[in-house]
Amino acid sequence: MPPVRSGSTQTVVEADIRYPSDGVLALQGARALARAGRKLAGRLRGRPVRVVDRSRRIGKLVRAISRTLARRTGQRVDAVVALNAAAGRALASSIGEARRLAAQARGAARGAAPRPSCMPPGAWRTWPSAASALPPRSSSGCGARRSATGWCR
């Protein structure tokens, strides 16, 4: 684009300046987490935790924010805040999955398999013999469903 001369002696060049909103930052964060999660999951053996790519959902929310801002009503501020909050919740879900994947990767790097939440800390190393020390199925320690072997799923 050629420079445009203004009335003064300075040359002005048009530029596309973008100010990212909260929704756009959440969109970029969700994409980055999903991309990094896919890379890390590809390096792990077994069945790694999946980091879901929520960028399409957040992108729809960002477009809804743009449509809402175009309206000239008094409720648009409340609607934009609600849409930004929904984008933040979607990103928070991706962050939680990424943290669980990172914990799984740290455990795999140390040579440890992930331990179910209701299993006592030392019981994983002595798994077959520790199954007899579990409480009955009705009084599960963590409230989770138990598998046929007695451990949480």
Please provide residue 120's backbone torsions phi and psi, each rounded to the nearest 5 degrees.
Answer: -60, 150
Q: Which of 78, 17, 29 is CA-nearest to residue 58?
A: 29
What is the full per-residue pLDDT of the chain (153 aa) written as tens digits? 566 555 556 677 776 666 778 899 999 999 999 999 999 999 888 889 999 999 999 999 999 998 888 887 778 888 989 999 999 999 999 999 999 999 999 888 887 655 555 656 666 555 555 555 555 555 444 555 555 555 554
Question: What whole-number distance in Å separates Cα of residue 101 and Cα of residue 36?
Answer: 10
Question: What whole-number distance in Å separates Cα of residue 56 and Cα of residue 62?
Answer: 10
User: In which residue are the tokens 């590809």 written?
Assistant: 42
Question: What whole-number distance in Å separates Cα of residue 122 and Cα of residue 115?
Answer: 10
CA distances from 131 to 67, 90, 113, 137, 148 (A): 57, 38, 17, 12, 11
